[in-house]
């Protein structure tokens, strides 16, 4: 892989957040340096400690945590990232990014960065196929954001439909390919 790729992994509030642990682990095993930003909603599904242990780095959660060094964290993380991967990417985070809403550490970091952004959507099929979500995805694609999935499969509601986050292997391959 050459120089260690710096991948910023954003984890949002979806049942698919448990897959972020495997994503972080595989990226580290393949030589990437992984930093994680979790939304508050993600913490309902997976703990920061799990992601810290698997990424071998501190997990960032709050916009206003005291920085370890004197720098604005979301700006320094944005500048150093070779890729920002958001997995899972909920309808909420997709909508915020499409509208330029910066109300948490993850959205501020993505907006401050010029690194490629890869989103792995995960949501109910009714949400994924809603015209607003479709419009938000199209808007993000138009400005250069990349997407992997979703795929058809068993959703949290038990239904077999589109909306399940892509497999970890596919996400990892896509992320490593896009990291500049």
CATH of the domain at 173: 3.40.50.1950
Domain assignment present for 128? yes
Separation between Cα atoms, residue 121 and residue 14, nearest integer Å: 10
Of the CA atoms within 13 Å of residue 45, those in its CB half-sphere come to: 19
Note whether residue 130 is domain-resident: yes
User: What is the value of pTM for the model shown?
Assistant: 0.91
Number of structural domains found in the chain: 1
Q: Where in the sequence is the domain holding 18, given as residue range(s)?
A: 6-178
Q: Binning pLDDT at 50, 70 and 90, where does residue 123 land?
A: very high
Selected catalytic residue, list 56, 99, 102, 157: 157
Q: Are β-strands 117-121 and 83-89 bridged in parallel, bridged antiparallel, or unpaired?
A: parallel
Q: Is 157 a catalytic residue?
A: yes
Do residues 118 and 86 make contact, with C-beta atoms less than 8 angstroms apart?
yes
Measure the CA–CA gap between 127 and 78, rounded to whole angstroms. 29
Instruction: Give the pLDDT band of residue 62 (cuts 50, 70, 90).
Output: confident
- Residue recorded with tokens 């993850």: 106
């Amino acid at each position: 892989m050459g120089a260690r790729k710096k991948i910023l992994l954003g984890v949002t509030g979806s049942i698919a957040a448990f897959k972020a642990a495997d994503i972080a682990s595989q990226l580290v095993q393949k030589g990437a340096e992984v930093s994680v930003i979790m939304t508050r909603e993600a913490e309902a599904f997976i703990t920061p400690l799990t992601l810290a242990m698997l990424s071998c780095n501190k997990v960032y959660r709050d916009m206003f945590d005291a920085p370890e060094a004197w720098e604005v964290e979301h700006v320094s993380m944005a500048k150093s990232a070779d890729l920002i991967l958001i997995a899972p990417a909920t309808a909420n985070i997709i909508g915020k990014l499409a509208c330029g809403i910066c109300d948490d550490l993850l959205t501020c970091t993505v907006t401050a960065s010029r690194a490629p952004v890869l989103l792995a959507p995960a949501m109910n099929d009714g949400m994924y196929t809603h015209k607003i979500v479709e419009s938000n995805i199209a808007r993000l694609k138009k400005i250069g954001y990349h997407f992997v999935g979703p795929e058809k499969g068993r959703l949290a509601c038990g239904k077999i439909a589109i909306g399940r986050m892509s497999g970890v292997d596919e996400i990892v391959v896509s992320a490593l390919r896009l990291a500049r």
